Copies of this chain bind each other. A is one copy, B any other.
Amino acid sequence: MKSFEFLSKKREEKPRTCGITMVLDKGLGLETANSLMDVSGEYVDYLKFGWGTSIVHEREIIKAKVEMYKSYDITPYTGGTLFELAYMNNKLEDFFKEAHDLGFPAIEVSDGSVNIAHENKLEAINKACENGFEVLSEVGKKDPLLDKELSLDERITCMKDELSAGSSLIIVEAREGGKNIGIFDKAGNAKEGEIDYILNNFNGDKLLWEAPNKDQQVFFILKLGNTVNLGNISSDDITSLETIRRGLRGDTVGKI
């Protein structure tokens, strides 16, 4: 039972089909992460082992963290850069096998740092699905200059094709910083016109917006409602985001 339950506004419970929260783990200790999930794990749907971080950690620790997150009904998955490194090194088969052995039920497929032809990315999504993984795929480049070369229409085409290829969710890139990338300008403000255009042409329930900063989270929730899917949430901000979604923090009190 929750405390102050008479003040609670309900939200869809797990497994959620919308209002999804994806959290970034950039190297938490196992016990610290466990302590955090004990208080707020029910508000985490997906947990990303950021970029290539898993490569520098012991197998036993990664396995233990994956199991721990799963025990809270969270889907842990490998960061997109890890896929890209495997692709670049012609090690996709080894990558699928190792991700499976470590217990990951899902992986991210992206081309943010490595050039991958559109058909090859779609094929990789397809292969990952065949290997039994849920696939989240990301659209956008990590380099702001390269990212700007991608037109909105090109992004939307990618989204549609990747969804058809088997992705369960399409991630809109914003990195850990959330500035000067994708739909965010240099100050981290969202470009509302671009978001509207995307949503006029693609099913918003299949999008997961990376929104690492609080103002961005508030923006999306006030604009699109608390059923919006948000990602790259810092592990420090899990509870904060849940309260913003429910109108329990100043920014959204009386507005949800």
Residues of chain A whose beta carbon lies under 8 Å from any beta carbon of chain B: 1-8, 26-32, 34-40, 43, 50-59, 61-63, 81-82, 84-86, 88-89, 91, 94-95, 98, 102, 112-114, 142-143, 175-177, 214, 236-240, 242-243, 246, 248-251, 253-254
Contacts and interface: CB of A to CB of B under 8 A. Distances in A.
A254 B56 CA distance: 17
Given A85-B253, A253-B84, A239 B1 contact: no
Contact of A243 (B39, B55, B112): B55
Contacts of A243: 51-53, 55-56
Q: Which of the listed residues A55, A61, A81, A86 has the most CB atoms from chain B within 10 Å of its own CB?
A: A55
A236 B27 CA distance: 8
B38 A30 contact: yes
Contact of A27 (B27, B39, B112): B39
Given A30-B38, A61-B39, A82-B7, A112 B246 contact: no
Contacts of A95: 4, 7
B26 A248 contact: no
A59 to B, nearest CB: 5
A247 to B, nearest CB: 8
Contact of A7 (B38, B89, B239): B89
A239 B56 contact: yes
Contact of A35 (B1, B4, B7, B31): B31
Contacts of A94: 6
